[in-house]
Homo-oligomer: A and B are copies of this chain.
Amino acid sequence: MLSKNSIKFINALQKKKFRQKYNNFLVEGDKMVLEILTNHQFKIHSIYAVADWLDDNAPLLTRHRDKITAISERELKTISNLTTPNRVLCILEIPNAKLDDKRIAESLSLVLDNIQDPGNMGSILRTADWFGIEHVFCLQCVDVYNPKVVQATMGAFLRVRTIQTDAEAIFERWNELPVYGTFLNGTSIYESKLNSKGFIVIGNEGRGIRPEIEPFISHKIKIPAYGKAESLNAAVATGIVCATFKLGLVMS
């Protein structure tokens, strides 16, 4: 049974203010919740699920028995964000991402500058995960724990570390690393010297990289265009740039 207080609490987590106040966020659906149950890195606050899901996954749930509430399909609908609610909803603690200085100095990281669309943010984290990028720094972006972002990551938030920070904190701390950023007047990405470590800055959906971030960019790059479109979607551009860097792509 779902209490009025639980409904109020879960609905409050739609808002960033309350996510920060309670240090909790929502994850929905069978697949991601099963991954959380076998991942162990995230602290589970509570699980709300329909009876048959609880039966199906009983062996995984023994450690969390005191955190589980069995609810009806109808109750799930009242707390779900999905058009087709998928059996289970879970509340997690927001992790305190520890920075692994050494790993950062030795690998490629993404820096997202003012990404605003939850779908884009989710797709970018999913893309980072695909290409094995471990750290994603967020400068004034949509909240990573926004339920729409979490769902769009398709589970990538469980593996990719996201850090809310400001530009100085990154680029002054790792000032020996190259900083790549996409600009319309940059050098073709396939003719640029790409490094296996450093930062790739992805700009805002409409305005690109902000002028105050530009001075930190050491390498201006661009994805060559063949048609007449003025720009690419931010997540699509991230995918092309990440593939190029991680795979060392060159034009034949």
Task: Give me the interface of A with B, judged by CB distance under 8 Å.
Answer: 119, 123, 126-133, 152, 154-156, 159, 190, 223-233, 235-240, 243-244, 246-252
- Which residues of the other chain, B, contact A128 by a CB distance below 8 angstroms? 227
A236 and B129 contact, Cβ closer than 8 Å, known pairs A159-B227, A227-B159: no
Among residues of B, the one whose C-beta sits closest to the C-beta of A133 is B227
- Which residues of the other chain, B, contact A132 by a CB distance below 8 angstroms? 225-227
Q: Which of A154, A238, A239 has the most CB of B within 10 A?
A: A239
With the chains together, A245 CA to B225 CA distance in Å?
13
Among residues of B, the one whose C-beta sits closest to the C-beta of A156 is B229
Sample 9 A-B pairs with CB under 8 A, ordered by A number: A119-B119, A123-B236, A132-B225, A190-B247, A236-B236, A239-B240, A240-B243, A247-B251, A248-B252
Nearest first, the 8 closest Cβ-Cβ pairs linking A and B are A132-B226, A236-B239, A132-B227, A129-B229, A130-B229, A123-B233, A248-B252, A249-B249
Among residues of B, the one whose C-beta sits closest to the C-beta of A134 is B227
Copies in the complex: 2
- Which residues of the other chain, B, contact A235 by a CB distance below 8 angstroms? 123, 233, 235-236
Among residues of B, the one whose C-beta sits closest to the C-beta of A230 is B154
Among residues of B, the one whose C-beta sits closest to the C-beta of A188 is B247
- Which residues of the other chain, B, contact A246 by a CB distance below 8 angstroms? 226
Q: Which of A132, A224, A231, A240 has the most CB of B within 10 A?
A: A240
Besides the known contacts A127-B232, A235-B236, 8 further A-B residue pairs in the complex with CB atoms under 8 A apart:
A130-B229, A131-B226, A154-B231, A232-B239, A239-B239, A240-B243, A248-B252, A249-B249
Among residues of B, the one whose C-beta sits closest to the C-beta of A251 is B247
| In contact, A223 and B249 (Cβ under 8 angstroms) | no
Among residues of B, the one whose C-beta sits closest to the C-beta of A206 is B154
| In contact, B249 and A251 (Cβ under 8 angstroms) | yes
With the chains together, A156 CA to B236 CA distance in Å?
15
Among residues of B, the one whose C-beta sits closest to the C-beta of A117 is B119
Query: A238's contact among B129, B152, B236, B251, by CB below 8 Å, is which?
Result: B236
Q: Least Cβ distance of A193 to chain B in Å?
A: 11
Among residues of B, the one whose C-beta sits closest to the C-beta of A231 is B154
With the chains together, A248 CA to B240 CA distance in Å?
14
| In contact, B248 and A127 (Cβ under 8 angstroms) | no
Q: Least Cβ distance of A54 to chain B in Å?
A: 24
Q: Which of A152, A223, A229, A244 has the most CB of B within 10 A?
A: A229
